[in-house]
A and B are shown apart, each in its own frame.
Chain A
Amino acid sequence: MLPELFFAYFAVTITGLSILVITRKNPVHSVLWMLVLFIHIAALYVFLNAEFLAAVQIIVYAGAILVLFLFVIMLLNLRKEEIEQKFQKQWPLGMLAGTLFILFFVIILNKFAVFPAPGEYSIQAIQGEGNIMVIGKVLYTEYLLPFEIASLVLLVAIIGAVVLAKKKISE
């Protein structure tokens, strides 16, 4: 009963906060609501026995990605009239895309999703050894290649940022 209650609270709040994020006129307000949203998602991760992911959600998303969002908003510095002109006529198309996505998601979930039997990492096993310890052990042995590829993705992000913004700097 209690887990369902908590999950219901977070599901409803996350939906409400998402709507708040996309309906605010001021983009800075949107970003601030997104901060609350990210913290709620982190709490959801805690309930799914993914404590490390919850911490990463706070550190990376609430700490770093939101700062990036804020900088982009300040870089663009759109005035109110421009925002209304550019972005507020697209909502029917956005609604359509969103509805199609949900439909697609539900169909996939019903028809094709396979829920595998619980593996060796049950909640008790993870609790016994410690969440981060288990992640460290699995990530750096079994998932070595994806981990090293992640560094290449990050490298691309660095180079991409410099290439995109370099012209302005050399002026």
Chain B
Amino acid sequence: MPGTYIPLNYLPVLIILIVATLVGLLPLLLGIILRPKRYYPLKLTPYESGNPPVGEPQSKFSVRFYIIAMLFVVFDVEAVFLYPWAVAYDRIGLYGFIEMIIFIFILLIGYIYVWEKKALEWE
């Protein structure tokens, strides 16, 4: 693979990812291996005075959540574009500043649109 290299700087990230995965999975795995598996109907009923479950576990979500999630994605991407801009700000100067103002202004139009359409109001 041309352009492939070993990113040694990222070795700590790899190690912490492996350790974090193990911390999460190892107790579960140990539990599966060690715990006795004797199930009977009474044992599977809700604990003490808990209510027996009613209906299905999934319920229909309001479509409003979709708008919220979509807005989150859009403004997340906007924030991502701000990172390299902020890092390279010294090099691009006023030119880059005006550019970013235009970028944010276009997205602001979208935000005002959503606000005016009352898509953010919960009632």
Q: Say whether B61 contacts A71, CB under 8 Å.
A: yes
Contact flag A161-B70 (CB < 8 Å), given A52-B84, A151-B107: yes
Please give the residue numbers on chain B whose beta carbons come within 8 Å of chain A beta carbons, in ascending order: 1-7, 10, 17, 56, 58-67, 69-74, 76-78, 80-81, 83-89, 91-92, 95-96, 99-100, 102-103, 106-107, 109-111, 113-114, 117-119
Tell me the smallest distance from the CB of A103 to a CB of chain B, in Å.
Answer: 23
Contact flag A147-B71 (CB < 8 Å), given A74-B58, A136-B84, A155-B110: no
Q: Say whether B84 contacts A132, CB under 8 Å.
A: yes
Question: Which residue of A3, A79, A115, A158 contacts B113 across the interface (Cβ within 8 Å)?
Answer: A158
Q: Which residues of A contact B109 (CB under 8 A)?
A: 155
Tell me the smallest distance from the CB of A54 to a CB of chain B, in Å.
Answer: 9
Main secondary structure of the interface of B (DSSP, over half): helix
Q: Which residues of A contact B114 (CB under 8 A)?
A: 158, 162
Please give the residue numbers on chain A whose beta carbons come within 8 Å of chain B beta carbons, in ascending order: 2-4, 6-7, 39, 46-49, 51-52, 56, 59-60, 63-65, 67-68, 71-72, 74-75, 77, 79, 115, 118, 123, 130, 132-133, 135-137, 139-141, 144, 147-148, 150-152, 154-155, 157-159, 161-162, 164-166, 168-169
Inter-chain residue pair count (beta carbon < 8 A): 171
